[in-house]
Amino acid sequence: MKLHFTEEQIMMRKMVREFAKSEIEPFVESMEKGVFPRVILKKMGELGLMGIPIPEEYEGAGMDFTSYMIAIHEISKVSAALGVILSVHTSVGTLPILAFGSEKQKKNYVTKLAKGEKLAAFCLTEPSSGSDAASMKTRAVKSGNHYLLNGSKMFITNGGEADTYIVFARTSSGSGSAGISAFIVDKDAQGLIIGKDEHKMGLNGSRTVQLIFENAQVPIENLLGEEGQGFKIAMANLDGGRIGIAAQSLGIAEAALEKATLYAKERHQFGKPIASQQGIAFKLADMATNVEAAKLLVYQAAYLKGNNLPCGKQAAMAKLFASKTAMEVATEAVQIFGGYGYTKDYPVERYFRDAKVCEIYEGTSEIQRIVISKHLLKERFS
């Protein structure tokens, strides 16, 4: 399979590359100091990057899913933190409302999110339920015109910065996935408390917080889909979300490969460039092969998703392989840079720190293997 991007997709890549170089790259240092890139997100909104796969009818750019993945891939080559902010905002923050929302919810929320006037977050994980998402404890009880939410959510990307939160809570007694519902919660909902900020290994500049719900009032009309449909809404959107994280991983891996290759050609030891030493040349060859394979998996999954074809297995494979590749390629890049790679003078140590979480969030690598094997075991072989 060879990748053939359309003219429109190539133009998108060119535009995002230029934007990343001129606007994002100079801001990376501030993000490394913890500054949230509000100013960059505003510019991204103006360029239509906050709603790439959202139809024009709802104020999006009306482009295909592959173009959206190209944007995450290219942005993540420069800033993986910005890559995850965009991916969470679009894939699991905005698209669930587009797919499952009422017309009123789409008009009220999707239009503003797609223009970048508002930022979204996705709230599934809890302090004691991560991989086993269906074991969540947050409850929603109907009271008059509202649901009252009680519980807490953990590791919420964009939390504290977002205006709109997609929150999952249990609406019927018992355990299991059937009693879970999804809600659209506004940031100023009474009883929604922004908890502590996580101090992470990497992805500096992307904010991650805990959320606490203390009788948080959510209007009945903000139920997303039907009562009991929440777990399926979460899972269906995570299929697309995982392709976004795979594209983010691909961006990190490709950036690490490019930096390591350039450095290996410039750095001389034993009278010649280290790239001419077979030990380093073979490392670069393996890194490049894995990056290429990750690219094929990412864009295959994006194609399937964009054409409304089943993509759960391919999304999980793309996420599993691309995140592993990001971690391995970043590790080898640090090794090729030697002592310099361990300093903050070069970006490879940032790639190394940023890559690790790609194997953890939006479903750990172990969860991706569960998803892949479940699909595999259902398949018929002739």
The answer to whether 51 and 61 are in contact (CB under 8 A) is yes
Q: Which listed range, 167-175, 184-192, 343-351, 355-363, lies at the site for ligand CAA (CB under 6 A)?
A: 355-363
Residues 285-304 binding ligand CAA (CB under 6 A) are none
User: Is residue 25 annotated as part of the catalytic site, yes or no?
Assistant: no
Residues 66-95 that bind ligand CAA (CB under 6 A): 84, 88
Which of these segments, 122-130, 142-150, 163-171, 283-291, binds ligand CAA (CB under 6 A)? 122-130
Contact call for residues 169 and 151 (beta carbons, < 8 A)? yes
* 363 binds ligand CAA per the rule CB under 6 A: yes
The CB-of-266 to ligand CAA minimum distance in angstroms stands at 36
Contacts (CB under 6 A) with ligand CAA, residues 195-214? none
Q: What is the C-alpha to C-alpha distance for residues 138 and 151, in angstroms, rounded to an integer?
A: 4
The minimum distance between CB 127 and ligand CAA, in angstroms, equals 13
Strands 208-219 and 146-157: antiparallel
Cβ at position 327, least distance to ligand CAA in Å: 16
Residues 215-244 close enough to bind ligand CAA by CB under 6 A: 231-232, 235-236, 238-239
Nearest to 275 by CA among 289, 259, 251: 259
Least distance (Å) from ligand CAA to the CB of residue 251? Answer: 15
The site for ligand CAA, by CB under 6 A, has a size of 24
CB of 166 to ligand CAA, least distance (A): 10
Indicate the residue among 251 and 341 with the shorter CB distance to ligand CAA. Answer: 251
Q: Residue 245 Cβ, how far from ligand CAA at the closest point, in Å?
A: 7
Task: Give the pair of three-digit tokens for residue 86.
Answer: 């965009």
Q: Considering only residues 66, 157, 217, 323, which one is a binding residue for ligand CAA as defined by CB under 6 A? A: 157
Among 24, 28, 243, 367, binds ligand CAA (CB under 6 A): 367
Catalytic position from the list 59, 161, 349, 362: 362
Q: 166 with 92: CB under 8 angstroms?
A: yes
Choice between 222 and 237, CB closer to ligand CAA: 237
Single out the residue of 16, 50, 133, 287 in contact with ligand CAA (rule: CB under 6 A). Answer: 133
In the list 122, 147, 168, 263, the residue contacting ligand CAA (rule: CB under 6 A) is: 122
Kindly state whether residue 332 participates in binding ligand CAA, applying the rule CB under 6 A: no
Binding mask 246-285 for ligand CAA (x = CB under 6 A): ----------------------------------------
Indicate which single residue of 177, 277, 335, 365 sits in contact with ligand CAA (rule: CB under 6 A): 177
The site for ligand CAA (CB under 6 A) is made up of: 84, 88, 122, 124-125, 131, 133-134, 155, 157, 177, 231-232, 235-236, 238-239, 312, 361-363, 367, 370-371
Which residues are marked as active site?
Answer: 362
